[in-house]
Structure formats: C-alpha cells, structure tokens
Amino acid sequence: MADPLVETAIANWEPRFVANGVDGADFARITAAIARWDDWCGAWGAAADAYAELATSSRAAGHARSAGEFDARAAHHYHFGRFLFVHDRDQERAAHQRAVAALTRALPELAPPGRRELVAFEGGHLVALVRTPAGPGPHPVVILIPGLDSTKEEFGEVERAFLDRGLATASLDGPGQGEAEGEWPIRPDWAPVGEAVLAHLATQPDLDVSRVGVWGVSLGGYYAARLAAADLGLRAVVALSGPYDFAASYDDLNPLTQRAFAVRARAASSAAARQRASDLTMAGHAERITVPLLVIQGQQDRLFSWHEGERLVAEARGEATLWAFPEGNHGCANVVTRHRGPAADWLADRLGRPANAGGDQ
C-alpha cells in the first residue's frame, strides 16, 4: 500500500519543484523510487550528492560556471528533501546544512554572482543572499521572503526574474526559517525584521535603499503584507498566496504542513499550534497598508482560499491589485510563467527600472 504522505507530496509538489529549478525528469525519477515518507529526505539527498560531485569535478577542471550551476542544483535537491521532513530532525538539519554549504560554494560562480550578508538581529543574525544585476549601481532591491516550508536556497529562479529586470535581490531567512530557525520561532510581527534588514542593506554601497520592494510567497506572503503595513519606507510589495488569517485554514492543512508549523513555531501541542496560528492575522493591520500592493492568488489553492487575498486587497488603503488565476494552485506554481515575470515588471515599474535594464520600458 502506498504511503499517503508520499502520494500527497508527489501529487501536490511537482509544479513547485519544477518552477523553482528542479528538472522534471529528476523529479519523476527520484519520486518513483520512494515508497515511504521516511525515505524522502534520503532519496533527494542522494540525488543532491551526485550533483555536488559533478560540481567538484567541474571546479577541478576549471569550469567554474558549470560548478556553480551543479552546486546550485544540489542545494535545491537538499532543500526539497528536508523542507517538511521535521519528524526526523537529525536528517532534516543535516540536509539543510548541506543545502546551505552547496549554495554558498555556488554563489561566486553564479551569473550574476551572489554574496552572504549577516544581518544583526536581536543579539544574533539573520542571513540574506544578495545578488546584483549587471551595470552600475546603486541598484533598487527586492527582499525575497520564503514561506513556512521554504528557505532562501529555493529562490534561484525567482531571483533571476528580478535580476533580468535590473533589480537586485536579497533572499532572506527570517525567524523560523532556514538558518534562523534554530534561533527564533515563527513570529507574526515582521516590522523588527524589516527594520533590521533595511538597516543592513543601507550599509551596502551597491544597493539603493530608497527604492526597496518586497516579494513573499505563502506564509512569506503574510510576512510581506505585515511589512507593507509597517512604516518602513517601502516602495511596493507583492504577496503571493499568503493567508489573511492563518488560523482559518489551519485545521484543513495537510499533516506535513501542520507538523512543520508546530515545530517552527515551537508549539508543544496541537492546541498550542492552533493558538500560534491565530496570531498570524492581518486583522487590524491590513487597513494600515498604503504602499502599492499586488496580491497573487490561485483559485485552486488547497492551503489558503483565494478569498483571503481578496479580503486583503479590499482592506488595504493604498493602490491594491488582485491577480486571481482560476487554475492556479498554492503559490500559483502551475501557472508560474503567467505571473512571475509580470510581478517582477510590476515591482520594477514602482521601484524605478534602470535605463539599461532589460524588459519593457
């Protein structure tokens, strides 16, 4: 009998994996060999190891570009092996560490290259990966925020959409995410996070912090909306498939997502997790949004109803636009070609696209 958790993963996640850099043939080959959920992380890790070995051999041969591409692909595979694998924390943490290491190796070899930035925050630090487009700076910059089960290691293809349009990117692990998961739990108020990140970006001479946008996906879409509601001087915000009220959807979430939320919110029981979920709401905050806001929702989203986005747009007080895709799933990953580039254009128009950037003028 097939493991229902594996069946759920395969049925729901292929569009997301492929949209974010996993080769479709890799997805089919790896998942076809997984019979039990307990084998998920190991199977993806083995495939990642193979790409990491190709990176090593390419680097030894002097082929830095290929080495970076192979290590970036390895990072994707490690990440997608561990992203909801919270029932085995040892495996999950080891896979995450390998994902971080692989992408760190790749950063200087990517086109354009990237760098790690340590952002001082509440006695510790958050990590952001910064990449800047070709041409003279300082560049307008977009802060990219992952969701409950994603991290900055997932964002290579998202970064490309902005970089190709002349915008720098800062892919962030915030509280409860990736490299920051061990120090801070999930939190509803992201204004302090935004303040810390903006203060750090202001120290980078190739970035223009007078022109900052935010893009967030899933629970990161909620965080993006909370930043839009704060007085941070942002130019524009995109919220992709985020909840308005996380608690309203919590009981209907699949067990893998519920378990991951409980772990990353540091909730000791199901009741405590539901209480933490109730803290994640835009009620009392949405009406404070005056910066331009673009909300993207899929009408076939099984996690958060598209009406959550409709409500957010209705309550925002500034320019607020809803793109609702009738066939779109969670994250609209199955229609990514219809919104990722246009959303990057929407942000570029509001941040001030450099004259030498690609895309529409």
For helices 64-82 and 40-60, what crossing angle results, to 10°? Answer: 170
CA distance 329 to 343: 17
CA distance 267 to 278: 12
Question: What pTM does this model have?
Answer: 0.96
pLDDT in tens, 78-111: 999 998 899 999 999 999 999 999 999 999 999 9
- Please give the positions annotated as active site: 218
Contact 146/152 with Cβ under 8 angstroms?
Answer: yes
Helix, coil or strand: residue 113: coil
pLDDT recorded at residue 358 = 52
Structural domain spans, the chain: 1-111, 112-361
Q: Is domain 112-361 annotated with CATH 3.40.50.1820?
A: yes
Residue 26 has pLDDT above 90, yes or no: yes
pLDDT in tens, 310-328: 999 999 999 999 999 999 9
CA distance 199 to 65: 32
pLDDT in tens, 158-205: 999 999 999 999 999 999 999 999 999 999 999 999 999 999 999 999
CA distance 116 to 127: 7
Contact 172/145 with Cβ under 8 angstroms?
Answer: yes
Q: How confident is the model at residue 361 (pLDDT cuts 50, 70, 90)?
A: very low
**Residues 184-195: b if buried by 16+ CB within 10 A, e if exposed:** bebbbebeebbe
Beta strands in 71-202 (DSSP E): 114-121, 124-131, 139-145, 168-173
Residue 277 has pLDDT above 50, yes or no: yes
CATH superfamily of 1-111: acylaminoacyl peptidase (1.20.1440.110)
pLDDT recorded at residue 5 = 87
pLDDT recorded at residue 254 = 86
